[in-house]
Structure formats: structure tokens, C-alpha cells
Amino acid sequence: MKIVVCVKQVPNTADVRIDQTTGTMIREGVESIINPDDLGGLEAALRIKDQHKAEVIALSMGPLQADGALRECLAMGADRAILVSDRAFAGADTWATSYVLAKAIEKIDPDLIIAGRQAIDGDTAQVGPQIAEHLHLPSVAYVNQIKYDKQHFIVKRMFEDGYQKVKVKTPCLITVLKEINQPRYMRVQRIYNAFREGLVEVWDNSNLKIEQENLGLKGSPTRVKKSYTKGVKTAGKVFDVNPKEAVQIIVDKLKESYIL
């Protein structure tokens, strides 16, 4: 069995702060990590490998620095690591990103593709299902349990109020939640071997040969019109009022903040 795990290197958004004087986002010193849902995906693949024979291939799209994330995947137990990287891919939205990843996966021809549900920097949850659509494969999203059973996977697909247990044929794509498992630690021995030359294969568009109109910004249906931080947090106000007025103040604030 061949399993491709899609992995994204992301800034640890938990470390991102807003500069309280300028209102801009402070990205400096924010570490890069493997997206948590993807790490769950890698662990899920490694557990399948532990029990059945499988080759686990970590696949990432990103700038050349993203090779650090792939070396971590190798240190955890992935057999191969492929970085899809080309300047022409820059600026891709989820449609164009999923298209490139789908083309790379086509070349690998796996039995199973696992992606994290969503990445913590974008939070879209779109790339996984979109890859499946480009590849015309069945997909199941929001999975927090995977069992392999003779050419099928039995998976638990989570909803807000419960779950479905479903059986899906291979080849297929599954997106997983980080709660699916507790990822293993990188193994010391594998860490010492993870930096050998040529261990991470780099594919650019000369390998994938994707038509220009579907690449990067050009291939992206959506555009960012503007982006802004919520700005500097203004000093809080304390109200000493009766309950009725208090309720009004709270409700107004909740409305203003789009919580209501």
C-alpha cells in the first residue's frame, strides 16, 4: 500500500501577536511548525504502516524552507519526502494549490491520501476535498478514526452532534482532525539521519508540467482585496450599572463583534 500524507509548514499562529502600538501582526520570531491536523494525518499513516505493509510518502507544497517540515516527517517515520516547490506556484488560492498537489499525487499513484482537515494559518479546510475532486476520488472529511479492512477503510466521520461510521473504497482521500491520535515523537536515530543529502525530493513544474493558466495567482479564482488586523485593543471599560443596562451593554458588544 502506498500512502501520501499532505503536510503544510505553517507559522505557529498561537505565537502570533498584534503589536499594541502599530496594530500590525508580529510575525518575527514566530516558529514554523507542521500543521497540527497534518501531523495527525502523518501519525495515522504511520499507524497503518505499523500494522500493514505500507510506504508512507510525505508531500508538501511550499517554498524551499518547507523542507524542514518534511525532515521532521522523515524523523517520525515517513519513508519518502517530496517537496513541490516552484516560483510559479506562488500566490495560489485553495483551488490552485489543490490542483498542483493533485498533479503531484497523480504521479505517485497512491492507494490512500491523507490530509489534515485544515491548516491553522488559513483555516479553510478546502484543499483536501478539492484535491479529491481534481483526482475524481471518493473523499471523507473530518475523520477521527481510521481502520484498514481489505481494500477498504472504515472511518469515523465527525459532525457537530455525532458521527457517521463509513466504509470507503481505495483509492480515496481522507481528511483528519488532530484529535485522531497523539503523534509519536521523532525518533532520535531518524533525527540523526534526516539531514542526509538528497533525502527530500524537490519537484518543480518541469516535473509536473501544469499549464500556466492554472498556476499560482493566475490560476486562482479568488483574490485578497484587502487584509487588516483588528487593530490595537482599546482600553476596556468598566460599567457599574443595573442588570438591565448591563445586559444591553453586553448584547451591543456581542453584536458589534459579530458573535451575535
Partner 1 sequence: MKNYKGVLVYIEQRNQVIHNVGIELLGEGKKLAEKLGVPLMACVIGYQMDDVVHKIQAYGPDLIYKVDDLFLKTYVNEPYTKALSTVINKVKPEIVLIGATSLGRDLAPRVSSRLHTGLTADCTQLDIDDDRQLLMTRPAFGGNLMATIICPNHRPQMSSVRPGVMIKPEKNNNSHSTVIEVNVLLDEKDMNVEVLEEVKEEHAKINIEEANVLISAGRGIGSKENMKYIETLANLLTGEVSGTRAVVENGWLDKERQVGQTGKTVRPDLYFACGISGAIQHVSGMEDSNLVIAINKNPSAAIFEVSDIGIVGDGSKVIPALIKELENIRK
Partner 2 sequence: MELGFDKEHILLRQMLKEFTENEVKDLASEIDEEERFPLETVKKMQEAGIMGIPFPEKYGGEGGDYIGYVSAVEELSKACATTGVVLSAHTSLCAGPIYEYGTEEQKEKYLIPLAKGHKLGAFALTEPNAGTDASKQETIAIEDGDDYIINGSKIFITNAGYADTYVVMAMTDPSLGTRGITAFILEKDMTGFTIGKKEKKMGIRGSATCELIFDDVRVPKANILGKVGYGFKIAMKTLDAGRIGIAAQACGIAEGALEETVAYVKERKQFNRPIAKFQNTQFVLADLATKIDAARMLMYRAAYNKDHKLSFTKEAAMAKLYASEVAVEVTNKAIQLHGGYGYSREYPVERMMRDAKITEIYEGTSEVQKMVISSYLLK
Instruction: Rule CB under 8 A: say whether 250 interacts with partner 1.
Output: yes
Name the binder of 187 from partner 2, partner 1, none, CB < 5-8 A by kind. Answer: partner 2
Instruction: Rule CB under 8 A: say whether 253 interacts with partner 1.
Output: yes
Name the binder of 37 from partner 2, partner 1, none, CB < 5-8 A by kind. Answer: none
Q: What is the DSSP string of 28-52?
A: TTPPEEE-HHHHHHHHHHHHHHHHS
Name the binder of 75 from partner 1, partner 2, none, CB < 5-8 A by kind. Answer: partner 2
Instruction: Rule CB under 8 A: say whether 232 interacts with partner 1.
Output: no
Cell of 179: 484529535
Q: How far is the CB of 60 from partner 1 (least distance, A)?
A: 19
Omega prior to 129 cis, within 30 of 0: no
- Chosen residue from 64, 217, 232, 241 binding partner 1 by CB under 8 A: 241
Name the binder of 184 from partner 2, partner 1, none, CB < 5-8 A by kind. Answer: partner 2
Name the binder of 158 from partner 1, partner 2, none, CB < 5-8 A by kind. Answer: partner 1
Distance CA 182, CA 34 (A): 14
Choices 54-62, 106-114, 129-137, 193-201 (CB under 8 A): range interacting with partner 1:
129-137
Please state whether 216 falls in left (phi above 0), alpha (psi between -120 and 50) or beta: left
Residues 171-190 interacting with partner 2 (rule: CB under 8 A): 184-189
Provide the 10 A C-beta neighbour count for residue 69. 24
Kindly list the distances between the CA atom of residue 206 and the CA atoms of 59, 64, 99, 123, 203, in Å, as whole numbers in the listed order.
Answer: 17, 16, 15, 30, 8
- By CB under 8 A, the count of residues binding partner 2 is 14
C-beta of 162 vs 198, nearer to partner 1: 162
- By CB under 8 A, the count of residues binding partner 1 is 80
Distance CA 259, CA 141 (A): 26
Name the binder of 32 from partner 1, partner 2, none, CB < 5-8 A by kind. Answer: none
Q: How far is the CB of 181 from partner 1 (least distance, A)?
A: 14
C-beta of 112 vs 120, nearer to partner 1: 120
Phi, psi of 151 (to 5 degrees): 65, 5
Q: Is residue 67 a contact partner of residue 83, using CB atoms and an 8 Å limit?
A: yes
Provide the 10 A C-beta neighbour count for residue 220. 18
Buried residues in 120-135 as b, exposed as e (16+ CB within 10 A): bebeebbbbbbbbebb
Choices 57-65, 71-79, 99-107, 219-227 (CB under 8 A): range interacting with partner 2:
71-79
Helix (H, G, I), strand (E, B) or coil at 62: coil
Instruction: Rule CB under 8 A: say whether 51 interacts with partner 2.
Output: no
Bridge partners (DSSP) listed for residue 2: 55
Instruction: Rule CB under 8 A: say whether 22 interacts with partner 2.
Output: no
Interaction site with partner 2 (CB under 8 A): 71-72, 75, 184-189, 191-195
